[in-house]
Amino acid sequence: MARWKKFFEKNASSPKNNRKKVGRLLFAVAFGLFFLFAIRLITIVATDSVSGTKLSTQVAKLYNGESSVPARRGTIYDRNGEAIAEDATSYSVYVVLNTNYTIGDTKYYAQEADYPVIAQILNQYLAIDESYSLDQMQQTLEDGSKPFQVEFGNAGKNVNLEQKLAMEEAMAADNRKGLFFEEHPARLYPNGNFASYLIGYAQLTDVKDESKGLEGIMGIEASYNDILQGTSGKTTFEKDHNGNPVAGTVDEITQATDGQDIYTTIDSHLQSYLETLMDAAFETSQPEDLTAVLMKAKTGEIVAMSQRPTYNPQEGFKEDTLYRNLLAEDPFEPGSTMKTMLLAAAINENKFNPYETYNNQSLKLYDTTINDHDLGAIGTLNMSQAFAWSSNIGMTLLEQKLGDDVWRDYLNRFGFGQSTGSKLPNETSGSLPESSPVSVAMSSFGQAISVSDLQMLQAYSAITNHGQMLKPYYISQTVDQNTGEVQVTQPTQLGQVVTDDTASQVLTHLQDVVENQTYGTGNGYAIDGYEVGAKTGTAQIAEGGGYLTGTNQYIYSVMMAAPIDDPEYLLYVTIKKPTTYTSAVLPSITNPLMKRALDLKENQISTLTPEVANYQGQDVETAKSALTVLGLQPIVLGDGTTVDAQSIAAGTSLLSNSKVILRTKGTLTMPDVSGWSKNDLIHLQELLNVQFEIIGQGFAVAQSLSAGQALGSETIRIVLQ
């Protein structure tokens, strides 16, 4: 210890020297740290990176904003250019409860005293239960405070513009606050229930990110989603410290590319008529399902197509409901309508002798007995009568004469067992009969084989088109508004299945089904003024490993062709398990629809009407008659007898069913504009010399001045949806 003491005493420095040493040490440490920080700073500036994170990117996130510019989804039109599905806007309703939601002295939140009134408004316009609305608005959080806002589930969504405006007006009546709406992209289906499973349905791709737009989930909306949806654009802007865009800094860097428009082959006039006929038949017979397709026999264009049950796409999808396009997705055993294909094959192979006779008692075929629908009722039949009477025994004998291998070959030729390539989602391929001789024989009268409606129409097109089979199709053209490019769909020939002579003979036998009063099973399908051919069917339904038995446990069907000497249309209708069934049910659809289609064809009403004439100075009734003959809708303004002005200039050609407004010299009043387009309203505004405030897109659903009211100087508000 003494040695260490002497060492420290010998080397001890004065306090002054100690302070110098400590100062030098601190200076060295400070200089070293400064040098290290300088090197690090230079490295950061040079590399623009910290721990692999780009600093400029993070700064850009703070001060540069980006937003999506939604693309317009393409419009779906009928063959005449009438919109079936188009872009629109919907709203969802919510109520703000937070008491801090004020601006100045104005309270924008819902006050408790107004809760019952708000509940009444929600009930009146959206049918939301008042007690449910009150429960929502009386909510409190765990700390006893109110939530910022409350919503009202699905009932508070898909609010249209008319409902929104009415609710806002009701709130403003007593200066109440708190009810607000959020805008959402939506799809407008102005015709409601209208070829719904063919046109389909589109909904938000992501309900949490509406910038992703709409996505088709059924029908054309789904199968052509890639060309309908377009490509969204993008804008950039600078943000302030609160994240809001700085005025004057918005810069569009990528423009949106709108989706392409699709023109279908659907004829709105025939489609609407079909929907009406289907509603009546469905209500009368109450079946499990009902389908109908009208197709042009010379091209394969589907002009009307519907099914029951159906849905209204404007109302959206319902939970716990199965949506299936029966016409494409559901295979079924067709029954006796398949006998036409067998007849065509036998005639084509010279195996059909119309005068060959047999006795229609039961036929034993291997381990199976074949029976007719009315065993022994007729007795001896020849083969021509057998087809008209729809004899299973006669067709089985004919199939045996033709041979199993040949018949299977013709089933393939007619396209059975393979998809028609319609592009409709989940289209079935159906199934061919098993290889057993009994199954092959039974397929001659439509059992042991499954088909779709589209396959049946495709097969029958070979009979109505001189033996050349046509693919059914429903898109007439697509139009790219961005480039002006138009792609027109041409009829697709699938091959000569039978000869022209064979097809002609089969048509004669189809006519016999309708006109033969003794043997024909289709007498109820005769149409005044036209010669018609048809083949009826009554198919057993295979379920649970066997065939159903009992009253009306069948699929009843008919395939109709007209006029039979050179068919213009094929019409296929099926009805499954009707609760009530009579032989008049299917004709209640087929006969009026086919007659309407043939009448339109006979009158040669084209897509574009002849030119509009100059009607000024003419008698009103004369002008109306002339426009009606052209296939146009005359709308008369005023109670005068002479036309003073017209909305469409003389020499203009219009789409069929377009409106032409005629103004007279009499007293003018406001017409009912329900369903009018924006273009029609602009013409009306010019003729009335009044000011319109047109709100929304689509077709007129509400007007502030009622029909028949005198016109004044005030602006008339018209709501489109």
Q: Which of 196, 268, 285, 336 is catalytic?
A: 336
Angle between helix 453-464 and helix 500-515 axes, rounded to 10 deg: 110
Q: How far apart (Å, rounded) are the C-alpha atoms in residues 384 and 464? A: 19
CA 447 to chain centre: 33
CA 309 to chain centre: 15
Q: How far apart (Å, rounded) are the C-alpha atoms in residues 287 and 212? A: 40
Question: Integer distance in angstroms from the first to the last C-alpha of the chain?
Answer: 103
> Whose CA is closest to 583, among 524, 517, 527, 537?
524
> Whose CA is closest to 385, among 416, 358, 349?
358
Placement of tokens 């007898």 in the chain: 641
What is the per-residue burial (b if ≥16 Cβ within 10 Å, else e) of 579-607? eebeeebbbbbbbebbbbbbebeeeebee
Per DSSP bridges, beta strands 475-479 and 486-488 are antiparallel
Q: How far apart (Å, rounded) are the C-alpha atoms in residues 570 and 510? A: 12
* Cβ-based neighbours of 633, under 8 Å, separated by 6 or more: 627, 657, 658, 659, 660
**Strands of 70-122, DSSP E:** 76-77, 83-96, 102-103, 106-107
DSSP 280-306: HHHHHH--SEEEEEEEETTT-BEEEEE
Burial class (CB in 10 A: 0-12, 13-18, 19+), 26: exposed
* Cβ-based neighbours of 277, under 8 Å, separated by 6 or more: 292, 588, 589, 592, 593
> How many Cα neighbours within 13 Å face the side chain of 277?
26
The DSSP call for residue 397 is H
Percent helix, percent strand, percent coil in the chain, to nearest 5: 35, 25, 40
Q: How far apart (Å, rounded) are the C-alpha atoms in residues 552 and 560? A: 22
Radius of gyration of the chain (CA): 37
Q: Decide: 683 and 661 in contact? Cβ < 8 Å.
A: yes
Q: Decide: 503 and 344 in contact? Cβ < 8 Å.
A: yes
Which two structure tokens, joined as six digits, stand for 542? 């295979």
The DSSP call for residue 611 is P
Q: Decide: 572 and 453 in contact? Cβ < 8 Å.
A: yes
Placement of tokens 């924008």 in the chain: 108
Element (H, E) at 476: strand 475-479
Look at phi and psi of residue 192 and say left if phi exceeds 0, alpha if psi is from -120 to 50, else beta: left
* Known catalytic residue at 336: yes
Point out the residues that are catalytic: 336
